[in-house]
Structures are given as structure tokens and as C-alpha cells.
Amino acid sequence: MSVFSTTLFSDVDFDRDGKQTGRISLPYSVTRSAYGVIPIPVAVVKNGDGPTVLLMAGNHGDEYEGQIALGNLIRSLEANQVSGRVIILPSANLPAARAGVRVSPFDDANMNRVFPADPSHGPTHEIAHYIEHILMPMADIFVDLHSGGGSLDYVPYVHCSLIGEPEQDRRAVALLRAFGGPYGQIWQTEKAEATTGGTRTAGGAAKRQGCIELGGEFGGGAVVNPAHLHLVERGVRNLLAEAGVLPNVAVEDTGPMRVMGGDAIELFAFAPDYGVFVPAAELGDEITAGDLAGAIHNLQHPEREPLAVHFRASGLLICVRAIGRVEPGDCLGHLAIDIEDPTI
């Protein structure tokens, strides 16, 4: 199969002016439905010439703020408000979104770890291949909205990636600041492959396709925090205004932003054993290297002292585990560190 061939098909015309909602269909033949498809929702809002912004959520199915925010945007955004094009993919990994899980129940694949995808490996790879090789080449800006899902909880932050091209990096930072929020993350190198996925993510694919890449983590715990949802909705509209796609909308001032980085492996704390984790720090706490991250209790051996886990670095605690039970290797926390102002 060539790089650009695909079995997926869509009932929307990405080049036509106006507002369209429809489906990107992935043929999926099973006993229950011999000629069935996986109908992934998509919307296109286009009006003349201008930049194209590809907005995506539901990369992981148990991360809800982005999916709801983009659904709200689909219902409210009209073509006469737009200069350019907005492509909206609110539940990109639809099988996972329908099941409310991180990975697809159809093939147990994590879509944000399969780029660049081989479509012969199953439906998750087929969807990822379509996103990278059909949708991303249309886009100037790609935004992938995440949260911590069922296993993690994050302070809400928006991120962008710098690639070493001054003009593109300047635009990426301007879009990050326009999106707004209390925290911003700047990825100045490839994210650590062992933790956050690096080039195997949708963000890595977007950079390969020449897009300005942004994203973010907006809460977690497999619940919807209304304040985080509002932040995402406001942030997306601010970003579209900053990009010139919403020319008649002013970018709302969201106040100061603390700009950080943090992809080094020592900024993560991992469980060394099985048990129930009791955290000793809360989201937003300032951590000093050696501080207690928490303790793991062995419920089968209550006579044993809980196993203490300590942070290996200093920084702001931006992520904590959202569920009690842990196994060796589970992420317990993630720190971010202040960096120099990257304004180009």
C-alpha cells in the first residue's frame, strides 16, 4: 500500500465553502455487520482563502474536555465567521471514545503511539494513517486536545513544540500565549520516548507534515471539570482568532501564564511495586528533589511498612496518579520546570 492510499472515505468535501458535518468512514467487516464502517465524526467550516486549522480530540477515548469542547464548537461555528478553514475531528479514535477507554477495544492499540502508522496493522493504525497523510497535509496548524484520562490528573496546560525555524517557532509561541491559561509547556526537543511518546504521537506526525503543533492536558480522572472545559473552549477560540481564522474575534486576555518545560525522565516518578498509592503532594505543589511523592501500601501484607517513593528532581507538580491501585512502572507524578521566556 502506498503512503497516500487509504480505504477510508468521507462524505464531506474539504475544499468546499460552507459548513459541513459528516463522517469519515473506515470499512470494518465483522460477523454482526459484513459491510459495516466505523463512522468517525468530522466537520469542515470553510470560507474563502486563509489558514487551515485542524482541531482534534478523542485521541484517547477517556479524555473528555476536548471532545465536548469541539462538539460545542461544531454546533456554534458558522462559515460566515471564518476566513480560511477549520477541520474538526472531535472523537478521532471513535472506538475508544465510544467505550470510554484510552486504547481501542478493537485492536488494543494506543493511537497516540502508532504514528507513523502502518494501515495493515488494524483499525487504529488505519485511522492514524488517514490523519497524518490525508488531513494533516491540508493544515497549517494542528491542535490535539488531551487530559489525563482515567489514570492521571493534570493541572490544565497548553503546549507547543519548537522546531528551530524562527518564524514558525514565533507563531507557535504566539498561538500558545493566545490560547492562554495558567500554565504553558514548551517542548524544545523531542518528548521522551519512554514516557510521552515522542515522534510516535499525533504531534510528532504533525511536525513531519509541516504543521505548527499545539496541544495540551486539561484535567483528568475520566471526569469533566467545568472550569477546564471553559478554558479549552475559550482557548480554542482565542487560537483561531490569533491565527486569523476568526478575523472579527478579539483574543481574550487570559492573564499571566507560567511557561515551563519538562520532558526529562528524572521529572517523572514511577511505582516500584504493587499496591495502593497514597500521594503526599497535590497538583500545583512546588517540589524539591528528595521530597516524598507518596507511599505504596501492600494490602496483602499489612504488617509491612508502606514503600516510600521520592521525587528525583525539583519542579512544579503538574500531574498525579488519579487511581489508587498501582503496578510496577505506573506513573505516579510528573514535574515541570521553569524555562527562559521562549518568545522569538
pLDDT in tens, 40-60: 999 999 999 999 999 999 999
How does DSSP assign 225-290, residue by residue? -HHHHHHHHHHHHHHHHHTTSSTTSPPPP----EEEE---GGGEEE--SSEEEEESS-TT-EE-TT
In this model, does residue 191 exceed pLDDT 50?
A: no
Model confidence at 190: pLDDT above 80: no
CB distance 275 to 327 below 8 Å: no
Integer Cα distance of 145 and 67 in angstroms: 8
278 contacts 298 by C-beta, under 8 angstroms: no
CA angle, 142 as apex, 140 and 145 as ends, to 5°? 165
pLDDT value of residue 4: 65
Q: What is the mean pLDDT of residues 243-268?
A: 94
> Could you give the C-alpha distances from 202 to 112, 121, 245, 320, 344, in angstroms and in order?
6, 17, 22, 23, 25
Tell how far CA 299 is from the center of its chain. 35
pLDDT for 148-160, tens place per residue?
A: 999 999 999 999 9
Mean pLDDT, the chain, whole residue set: 94
Residue 344 has pLDDT above 70, yes or no: no
pLDDT of residue 198: 79
Taking alpha carbons only, the member of 260, 262, 162 closest to residue 212 is: 162
Check: CB of residue 254 under 8 Å from CB of residue 180: yes
Q: State the pLDDT confidence band at 262, using cuts at 50, 70 and 90.
A: confident
Give ranges for CATH 2.40.50.100 in the chain.
265-338
CATH number of this structure's domain 265-338, picked from the four choices 2.40.50.100, 3.90.1200.10, 2.60.120.700, 3.20.20.70 = 2.40.50.100
Looking at 77-184, list the stretches that DSSP marks H as alpha helix, in order from N- to C-terminal side: 94-99, 123-130, 166-179
Determine the 3-state secondary structure of 37 from DSSP. strand
Phi and psi of 135, rounded to 5°? -80, -50
Distance CA 174, CA 4 (A): 32
pLDDT digits (tens, 9 = 90+) for 12-29: 999 999 999 999 999 998
User: Counting beta carbons within 10 angstroms of the beta carbon of residue 145, is it exposed (0 to 12), middle (13 to 18) or buried (19 or more)?
Assistant: buried
pTM: predicted TM-score of the whole model, two decimal places: 0.94
Domain 9-261 = CATH 3.40.50.2000: no
Joined together, the cell numbers standing for residue 18 give: 460552507
Name the band, by pLDDT with cuts 50, 70 and 90, for residue 237. Answer: very high
Which pLDDT value is given to residue 323?
A: 96
In 3D space, the residue among 137, 180, 142 whose CA is nearest the CA of residue 161 turns out to be 142
How confident is the model at residue 194, as a pLDDT? Answer: 45
> How far apart are alpha carbons 261 and 311 in whole angstroms?
17
Cα 54 → chain centroid: 13
* Bridge partners for 9 per DSSP: 25
Structure confidence at residue 101 (pLDDT) = 97
Residue 195 has pLDDT above 80, yes or no: no
Q: Please provide the DSSP assignment of 39-79 as one string.
A: EEEEEEEEESSS-EEEEEE-SSTT--HHHHHHHHHHHH--G
Residue whose C-alpha is closest to residue 235's, from 258, 218, 260? 218
User: How confident is the model over 272-310, as pLDDT tens digits?
Assistant: 999 999 999 999 999 999 999 999 999 999 999 999 999
